[in-house]
Amino acid sequence: MIDTLFPLGWQHYLGGGLLIGCGVALLWIGTGRMAGMSSVFSSTWSFVSRRPYFRQPRWLQSRAWRLQMALGLVLGAGLWWLLFGPQQPLATDVPAWRLALGGLFVGFGARMAGGCTSGHGICGLAALRPASLLAVLTFMGTGFVTAQALAVWGAR
């Protein structure tokens, strides 16, 4: 049963999830901020764009710490790689067009929805927001359909 659900084992999934939660909790206890990651893709535009949307105080006031958080993400994952990762850098067999087009949908969709897997999936649910539950069920649904369609099509 466990082997069927988690062919690669389950401990690293739960351990990783708990660590992610600790990062979210530390940011909350220390600064009162919520650790949604998609906002950095909007707030960073405020450094260069004069569009009204990107001039909003919420981007101007959060753009510095969101980049600091992003730096932390890279450093933390880099530490894992140095300590436990393979000799070679990680790579993916997912073709570039799927990464780029997927990224486009991810950026547009998450910003339109006001959050992604972290902003709605972790923070929003932890804040008991019904709208975040709607968001999670929706992106899980379209994510399943899209990935299954690719699998039927012969792609993984």
Partner 1 sequence: MTAAIVVLAGALFGFGLALSGMVRPEVVLSFLQFRDWGLMLVMGGALAVALVAYQLVPRVQAAPLLGGSFDTHTARMHRDTFIGSALFGVGWGLSGVCPGPAIAGLGTGNVELLWVIGGALAGAWLQGVWADRGTAAPLTQDG
Burial class (CB in 10 A: 0-12, 13-18, 19+), 70: middle
Site for partner 1 in 7-26 (CB under 8 A): 7-8, 10, 12-26
Q: Judged by CB under 8 A, does residue 143 bind partner 1?
A: yes
Query: Do residues 127 and 34 make contact, with C-beta atoms less than 8 angstroms apart?
Result: yes
Number of residues that bind partner 1 (CB under 8 A): 120
Q: Judged by CB under 8 A, does residue 60 bind partner 1?
A: no
Binding test (CB under 8 A) with partner 1, winner from 1, 29, 57, 154: 29
CA distance 112 to 106: 10
Torsion angle, alpha carbons of 105, 111, 116, 118, to 10: 140
Binding test (CB under 8 A) with partner 1, winner from 57, 60, 63, 117: 117
Site for partner 1 in 31-50 (CB under 8 A): 31-35, 37-38, 40-42, 44-45, 48-50
Q: Judged by CB under 8 A, does residue 76 bind partner 1?
A: yes
Query: Do residues 120 and 111 make contact, with C-beta atoms less than 8 angstroms apart?
Result: no
